[in-house]
Each structure stands twice: as C-alpha cells, then as structure tokens.
A = this chain, B = another copy of it.
C-alpha cells in the first residue's frame, strides 16, 4: 500500500501529512485549495489533488495509479467527512474496491457507522481513527491513534498510521475510536471547568490561586489539566489558541450523546455539555478551549492568576 491521499491540512493535519510525504506517494487535498497547492510545492513527490479522492492531480493525467489505496481525512466534524462521499467527485465514486478510508477527524460514532456502511457497499473499508497529542504530538509523529473498525483493515493501514502515530490502539468496532476520543475530551472539559470553578472560588475568598494550584498538584485533585494547562495557559494569562473551544464543545456533545443513546443517566457529562455550549456561544468561534475559564471568571468576578 503505497499510494496515500490526505484530506484536511489543518493545524494537526498538515504535520501529519508531512510525515506521510516522507514515505508515501502522497496526494493532498484541502477545502481551501491554495493550502494544498502550497503544501505540494514544498514537499517533494507530493501532488495536490483536485478532487478529494485524489484521482486527478497535477503530476499525472489519466494515471491509473492515481487511485489511492488509503485515504486519510482530518476534518472538523463527521459532517464534513460525510459530505465528501457523494457526487461525481465523491469518495464513493472515486475509490476503488479494497481501498480504506481512515478518518482521523474527532468524529461521532453514529455518523462513522453510517459512513462505514455506505463505503462497505462500495467495497471500501473504513476506520475511525481520531488522534490525541496535539500539534506538538503531530509534529513529532508521536500521536496516539484510537482506531475503530475491523482488525484486518487496521493491520493493512497500520504502517501508514505509524508514520505519525506512536501508539496505535484498536479500540473496537467502527465508532469505538470516536467514542473514546469524545469521552477523553469530555473529561478534559470537565477538568477545565471544575478546576476553574474551584480556583475562582478560592481566589475570591482571598486565597492565592498559585498556592492553591501548587498544593492541588501535589494532592489527590490533580489532573493533566491542573498540572499543565493551568500553569502554562491560565496563570500566565497566555491562553494560546491551539484547539478551538468550538471543537471541544462538539466533542463533549458527542460524549454526552453516547451516554444518552445508551440510556445512561449521566448528569455531570450532560451539564458539562451545556456549559461548553454556553461558553462557545459567549466566547465565539475563535476562542481556545482553555478560554472557557474566562467565562467562569466572569461569572465569579475573580481572576485566576
């Protein structure tokens, strides 16, 4: 399997594609085409694809090997992936039997199952494969990849995934990768919000949040959020924009939905979904996920610094 297409050259996608370009005959596609053109021009041996299944591209015309064996998507939501399936330029028309679509989008399990079923009818495999590790993990090629789908499909694409992933985990059937990723991100969201509420309450009652955070990080209430995000991003007031709040809102919503579909009473997840929907609405599309803390601070009338 040596012909790979990569769709979605965003903050995470671009460094992933860079790793692939070193080992594979790679076609890249991006909704805003100029990014794909620029990418192809700076990565030797890479072509930019005019259609997202990579069948037509600059280098070869009417080239049989333009058909890609593995297509990787890395888009904002499952909806964008689903919208690429149909039509003359769609993935279903463009992919040959035996190809595999690996969706690295942080997707939702129900849509992934629907996509998988439609691709299966066309003889194309599907793996949901959301990643964690952020921009720096993508740049280092050390992402964790959470895979849902058949073990056979996963073995076929494993070498491709190892280009950018350090830990490739088979999570279960189609949708399992999405579900775990969504729950992980929902826990991240819970931790951000709860830590903010707690520190804001302490700050307003006259306790120095720096001291509080230092103690908590040596105690049982610590988390990745309290140990890394708060010192680096909140206490410093840096709030770098690395992962949009809008996307975390979407992920918490997916996790909350997984629980509801299973008829599980999950009041904490559901409330967190409400709070992030609210924060997304109040803070806008461009806010970073950690900026949800700003809404807690506004409500509290106290800053965590």
Stretch at the interface among A3-11, A170-178, A231-239: A170-178
Known: A211-B180, A216-B183, A301-B281. A275 touches B264 (CB 8 A): no
Q: From residue A216, how far is it (CB to closest CB) to chain B in Å?
A: 5
Interface residue ranges of A120-137 to B (CB < 8 Å): 132-134
Contact with B along A144-183 (1 / 0, CB 8 A): 1010000000000000000000010111110110011001
* Dominant secondary structure of chain A at its interface with chain B: helix
Q: What chain B residues lie within 8 Å of A215 (beta carbons)?
A: 132, 144, 146, 169, 171, 180, 184
CB distance from A220 to the nearest CB of B (A): 5
Show 17 residue pairs from A and B whose CB-CB distance is below 8 angstroms, ordered by the A residue. Answer: A144-B215, A173-B206, A180-B202, A180-B212, A184-B215, A185-B221, A186-B198, A188-B221, A191-B191, A197-B268, A200-B266, A205-B258, A223-B223, A266-B300, A267-B274, A268-B271, A281-B299
Q: Given contacts A191-B191, A270-B270, A270-B274, list 17 more A-B pairs with CB under 8 A.
A: A144-B219, A146-B215, A169-B215, A176-B207, A180-B207, A183-B202, A184-B221, A185-B220, A187-B195, A194-B268, A194-B272, A201-B258, A201-B264, A201-B266, A220-B224, A262-B300, A265-B274
